[in-house]
Structure 1
Amino acid sequence: EHEQRVQDLRSKHDDERTLLRSKTDQIRDEHSRMAEEMRQQLDTERQAHTKTKDDDKGRLLEHSRTAGVLEGKIIANTEENKGLRQRLQALEEKAHETELAIRQYMEEEKTLRGRIHQAQLEAAKVREETDRKVQDVTEEFAAQEKEIQEREEALEAGSDHINNLRSKSHGYIVSIILFTASSFDQLK
């Protein structure tokens, strides 16, 4: 009986050991399965993190590229703006110079118009004086002609004297014509 008991205990012990091994195998399998799931989950998370990191890196590179392009545009626009300002300043200076030249031309034109008006007044005055002198000379000539005729009638015998008067009157006529011509030349 003692043997039987030892045998039963051994058998029980073997059964417990088998059960324990079975449970240990189950726990090990469960642990391996959980470790594998955890490894897969970590791989998935690492891949997601890497993808997110790559996406962020790509966005950052794109942002840097965009910032570089914008900086280039800003520099180009600044240079263009600088050039346009210089051109505007040059145009404003030219407009100011043109305005001054126009004022000067207008003043010169006004002065010249005044001179022309003064010359026209003087020409009219000279014309009047010339006309008056021509009239006086014509009247004097007519009076001399009349006097000559009267003397011719009175002195038929004194032809020398008459010829002398005629040559004088012709001299007056020539003087009048020359004076009139020179006066008109001055008016021109």
Structure 2
Amino acid sequence: MEETMLGWARRVAETELSAVLPRRWAHSQGVATRASGLGPALAGDAELLSAAAVLHDVGYAPRLAETGFHPLDGARFLRDEHGTDERLVRLVANHSFALLEAEERGLREELATEFPLLDEPLLVDALVYCDMTTTPEGDRTTAQDRVAEIRSRYGDHSVVGRFIRRAAPEIFASVERVEAALTAQPR
């Protein structure tokens, strides 16, 4: 029996994260659970979103951390070691406004050149929504509480703190767009 994209993605993420970063693995599973509830709004891309959701933080795995910037490291791993679907790789590379953090790290051009942002706004927003409404432990939260948690954990003057302050308005707007799309879905 052939493995689905989502089955493969779960297996890869679990292999890379569960033993070495169990909290990150819990978050990734929670993000994937959020994604599973967005299927009707995404037509044929529900499985792609769920696969991106479970893999979005795979670049945190210590063996994959080459640049120290997890979206770039994760996308390179998926492309180079697994020959993963280009849309999936680009979603992982650009999740949750990664270009803004890449800019803080001096990696914006590298990320944008290697992994251009998908021109699929609802799909990109959906991954932001799933990531930014899930706690580090994998539970549901609001985007406002998630941003506050990230700022508290990293500090406002860190690279991540500066990035999340800049990205917050965009994150909140993405979450609002996804919530509006979900509300518009027939019940």
Give the alignment's TM-score, normalised by structure 1.
0.22
Compare relative contact order (CA 8 Å, sep 6+) and give the higher one, 1 or 2: 2
Larger Rg: 1
Give the alignment's TM-score, normalised by structure 2.
0.22
Q: Higher helix share goes to which structure?
A: 1
